[in-house]
Amino acid sequence: MYSMRAIGYVKSPYKERAEVPRGLGAKHEAEGVLEIAPEFEKGLTDIEGFSHLFVLWMFDRSEGFELMGTPPSDNRAHGVFATRSPYRPNPIGLTVVELVRRDGPRLYVRGVDMLEGTPILDIKPYLSSVDPEKLRRGWLGEAEARKG
Ligand SMILES: C[S@@+](CC[C@H](N)C(=O)[O-])C[C@H]1O[C@@H](n2cnc3c(N)ncnc32)[C@H](O)[C@@H]1O
């Protein structure tokens, strides 16, 4: 077992799961704030230079997990590790957000899909080194193609 603590919490416009856009073509442009605890603020030093961040967080309002599930973007079941399901053996969420500005321990960001009060586990600069031509989108690409 491993234990983790929150480094902060998300201020989000979404209070309920049903409010978060989902399914094929869903856009995540909602603005929110990553409020980092004072004891970790020094760790934000130099973060302003990055346009986008990876945010790792807890699905603290999910219970249990399903190894197979049908996501809102498809009508076929897929393995949990081939999806972004909130029902995972380790309920860790990963969201890429755009960093709009920093005000001390508060990071104003765009692109949140977390609920209000979601615990933040970690933040890292987003740096993609994957050649777009080598990127395959698996079942999601197929579902998008079927939808046309
Ligand atoms: C499909 S998951 C994807 C989350 C993240 N982008 C990822 O890939 O890990 C997004 C859904 O998680 C749910 N969600 C957001 N915050 C949550 C929380 N704190 N606890 C449980 N579910 C949450 C919302 O219903 C939202 O629609």
Calculate what percentage of the chain has a pLDDT beyond 90. Answer: 89
| CB-defined site of ligand 1, < 6 Å | 17, 20, 22, 59-62, 84, 86, 93-95, 113-115, 118
The residue assigned the tokens 């409020």 is 35
3-state helix, strand, coil in the chain (%, to 5): 20, 30, 50
Q: What is the mean pLDDT of the chain?
A: 96
pLDDT category of residue 146 using cuts at 50, 70 and 90: confident
Calculate what percentage of the chain has a pLDDT beyond 70. Answer: 100
- How far apart CA 45 and CA 111 sit, in angstroms, is 22
How many A from CA of 86 to the centre of ligand 1?
5
Provide the pLDDT for residue 104. 98
Phi, psi for residue 129 in degrees, rounded to 5: -115, 10
Give the tens place of pLDDT for each residue, 105-145: 999 999 999 999 999 999 999 998 899 899 999 999 999 88
Give DSSP secondary structure letters for 38-89.
GGGGGGGTTGGG-SEEEEEEE-TT--S--SEE--TT-SS-EEGGGS--S--S
Provide the pLDDT for residue 102. 98
pLDDT, average across residues 57-76 = 96
Give this prediction's pTM: 0.95
How many A from CA of 57 to the centre of ligand 1?
9
Mutate-to-test residue for ligand 1 from 114, 118, 121, highest number of ligand atoms within 8 A of CB: 114
- How far apart CA 86 and CA 34 sit, in angstroms, is 20
Collapsing DSSP to helix, strand or coil, 103 comes out as strand
